[in-house]
């Protein structure tokens, strides 16, 4: 779910932080577009969102709830004899349609993760999902098709964007992926924060220190900052939506990012806190930040993309793990529909 940024400020309010009378969520909304990530559309109504994002894991979780059994059963009854693989598409769209009754903006619907290495099949599935939405009178501009940040997924996004189908590139862990998505004119990317931190925390083991490796030094946070600076410096219009947070510290360190998608639990934590929130990301700092890291424009073709991805153990492992887990949850959803 998403809240609009308030661009109007009064002389009594500082530019980079809000007054302490506001809770952290209210302050954050003034700096960043805040998105809540859930398939539980009944829960969404309390947040009055602008947009919403889903994925196979979130839809599986929602579909197992008793209050959504009638929706799931209605889809099955409407399509007797349909394979469970095809039924999943209709379930995803059914949830998306209900979400769009609540939100005035966009909903993200994910292509089957099992197609992550098949550009042609990904494009066909994306067009099928868009056609299902359009058959219900939904404008394609209200849909973001979620694709994995593989070379094949990025190639699919390039073709889909040229056809007016907007894409949300997910399972994104590196600047290389982000640069390729920008070159493909993807509408939005979702760089993951928490999963990057999880990898480094596991790698360091007993050497991990929450003080030295947290806050502004959190590896997931620094990854999104790097992408933000790269996009802003090189004028890449693709929207950046930080995702996969483990705590509110990670969120607050990215205040100023284009969008941040946050779980309902962490949204509640932000709402319960009255501590001040400062703007941490600003395009004006982009050039200096890239210069400090020695980062220049990346020119990528398929071979250089694959080589750089291969040489980045964290990205390679987390991308593979993410696709694998989304495949598992899609198969669980199919099994649920088969009952």
CA distance 325 to 146: 15
| Burial of residue 335 (number of CB atoms within 10 Å: 0-12, 13-18, 19+) | exposed
> Which token pair is 220?
């997931």
Given 29, 30, 125, 146, which residue is catalytic? 146
Angle between helices 313-338 and 56-63 (to 10 degrees): 30
CA distance 107 to 36: 11
Active site residue 146: yes
CA distance 243 to 312: 20
Annotate 247-291 with DSSP letters as a single string.
SHHHHHTTTTSSEEEE-HHHHHHHHH-----B----GGGHHHHHH
Residue 53 sits at the vertex; the CA angle it makes with 167 and 107, to the nearest 5 degrees, is 65
What residues act catalytically?
Answer: 146
């Amino acid at each position: 779910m998403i809240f609009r940024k308030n661009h109007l400020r009064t002389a009594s309010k500082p530019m980079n932080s809000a007054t302490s009378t506001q809770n952290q969520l209210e302050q954050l909304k003034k700096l960043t577009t805040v998105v809540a990530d859930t398939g539980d559309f009944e829960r969404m109504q309390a947040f009055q969102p602008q947009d919403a994002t889903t994925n196979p894991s979130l839809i599986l979780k929602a579909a197992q709830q008793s209050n959504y059994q009638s929706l799931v059963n209605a889809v099955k009854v409407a399509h007797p004899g349909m394979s469970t693989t095809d039924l999943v598409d209709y379930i995803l769209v059914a949830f998306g349609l209900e979400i769009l009754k609540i939100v005035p903006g966009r909903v993200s619907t994910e292509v089957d993760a099992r197609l992550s290495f098949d550009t042609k099949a990904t494009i066909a599935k994306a067009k099928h999902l868009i056609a299902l939405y359009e058959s219900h009178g939904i404008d394609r501009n209200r849909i973001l098709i979620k694709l994995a940040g593989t070379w094949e997924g990025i190639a699919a996004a390039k073709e889909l964007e040229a056809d007016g189908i907007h894409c949300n590139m997910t399972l994104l862990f590196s600047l290389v992926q982000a640069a390729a998505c920008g070159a493909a004119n993807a509408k939005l990317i979702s760089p993951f924060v928490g999963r990057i931190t999880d990898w480094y925390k596991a790698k360091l083991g007993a050497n991990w220190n929450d003080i030295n490796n947290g806050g502004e030094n959190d590896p997931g946070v620094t990854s999104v900052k790097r992408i933000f600076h790269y996009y802003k410096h090189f004028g890449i219009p693709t929207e950046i939506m930080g995702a996969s947070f483990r705590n509110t510290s990670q969120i607050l360190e990215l205040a100023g990012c284009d969008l941040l998608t946050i779980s309902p639990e962490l949204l509640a934590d932000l709402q319960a806190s009255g501590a001040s929130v400062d703007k941490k990301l600003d395009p004006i700092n982009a050039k200096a930040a890239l210069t400090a890291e020695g980062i220049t424009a990346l020119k990528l073709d398929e071979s250089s993309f694959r080589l750089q991805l291969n040489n980045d153990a964290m990205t390679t492992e987390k991308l593979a793990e993410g696709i694998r887990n989304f495949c598992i949850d899609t198969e669980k959803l199919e099994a649920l529909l088969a009952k």
